[in-house]
Amino acid sequence: MTCVLAIDIGGTKLAAALVDEAGSILRSATRPTPRDEVMSALAALVTEVMDGGPPPVAVGIGCAGPVDLASGTVSPVNMPSWRGFPLREEVRKLTMLPTVLAGDAQCFALGEHWLGAGRGCSSLLGVVVSTGIGGGLVLDGVPLLGPTGNAGHVGHMSIDPYGERCECGGRGCVERYSSGPNMARWALENNWSPGAASRANGSTPPTSPQGQAPPDPQGKGDPQGKGDARTQAQAHARMPAQADAQAPAQADAQGLTQADAQGLTQADSQALAQADARTLAQADAQALAQADAQALAQADARTPPPAHAQALTRAEAWPPAQADARTLAQDAAAGDPIAVAAFQRSARALAGMIASTAAAVELTAVVIGGGVSAAGEVLFEPLRHALDDVTGLPFVRSVEVRQSSLGVRASLAGAAQLAWRQHPSITTP
């Protein structure tokens, strides 16, 4: 049986597989990416996959970037031991096979075009929304790689020339607004309480302290206090640059201050703990409220208002939630207005990037994957609304946005397709 060796290299995981011409995986293995001696770990992984399997005829590699196809070197941001590392030549020497290299997001796009949600698309943009944002283009069935192999780097397209300074040194980059860590960062800056809404298990989502609306990136909102969290959040997610201008001032006016939290005396804490024990033994919310009220009645004048004390009491029964994109998505799904606003804001930045790319290369479809895409409709519904708002020309408005169907397998599939294709522009001389 004829097959190729596909390799996917990221900052947290190394993966390799033997893949046949139909895209079926014959053998595969993964292991964590070590901080040092990455090539040794990769060599052991390749040996594990190849031993006992059919001999591959070529190797395809998708690697986190930046990459330089002219030299075959890589300098992954999250792998400090590899700077200008000659990956293509090292793998060629290891396997003694023709070896091709591309960025991991480009392999994601090619994999989805070959076997996933992008099949049949004449002009496809693949986008990975995760810790960072990467992208790749497949035009007329051929990956567009560029002179150095970095074409499709959509995460660093500027959607706001007056926006926030990005870690890359640019300004207004999509990644600054739409990557998982940056979404969580913005939410925390605007008084998001991680996990509070999702822990409520469908109860009324928490609002900002003192009944205030969540931060409004445009300084607009619901002046009469009407509308649900999602309706309010659509106003919060307008131009990202304006989102942060008013956030600090509003953040000062909201939230439980340290003084509030420290105002509980030892007696207060004991009372709350006793109330917790009683309330955990009871199933209904009415008993919880009664226990909270009994504890608060024993507290002195420095005890926080009942709404704050109830929040503290419930939080003690749960482990602290991670302040990450996964928790943010869970809270948005539960209706937390700040979490919803963070996804609205992210979606609008992604929509601006998609519209600009579609206008430049006339896309027919966009496939979105990565960890943040696992939020499903929490991300895709506001993205559709934002695209409807920012697009104008008919050929731009006709672009279809789809969720990845291959998930983590997409980059391996793309690396295999690279090896099968043996494009002259990226094969080892």
In terms of domains, do 194 and 335 share one?
yes
Q: How far apart are CA 413 and CA 107, in angstroms?
A: 7
pLDDT digits (tens, 9 = 90+) for 103-141: 999 999 999 999 999 999 999 999 999 988 999 999 999
| Residue 383: domain span | 117-254+317-405
Q: How far apart are CA 87 and CA 59, in angstroms?
A: 12
Number of compact structural domains in the chain: 3
The least confident of 4-13, 319-328, 384-393 is 319-328
Q: Is residue 110 in some structural domain? A: no
Q: Is residue 108 in some structural domain? A: no
Q: Give how far Cα 169 sits from Cα of 120, 173, 384, Å.
A: 37, 9, 30
164 alpha-carbon distance from chain centroid: 18
pLDDT digits (tens, 9 = 90+) for 246-271: 443 343 334 333 333 343 334 444 44
pLDDT on residue 319? 62
In terms of domains, do 236 and 87 share one?
no
In terms of domains, do 362 and 374 share one?
yes
Q: How confident is the model at residue 201 (pLDDT cuts 50, 70, 90)?
A: low
Determine contact, residues 58/97, Cβ cutoff 8 Å: yes
pLDDT digits (tens, 9 = 90+) for 7-58: 999 888 899 999 999 999 999 999 999 988 999 999 999 999 999 899 999 9
**Helix ranges, 200-284 (H):** 229-236, 240-243, 247-253, 258-262, 266-280
In terms of domains, do 129 and 214 share one?
yes
pLDDT on residue 399? 97
Give 302 or 17, the one with higher predicted confidence.
17
Q: How confident is the model at residue 202 (pLDDT cuts 50, 70, 90)?
A: low
In terms of domains, do 220 and 293 share one?
no
384, HSE (Cβ side, Cα atoms, 13 Å): 9
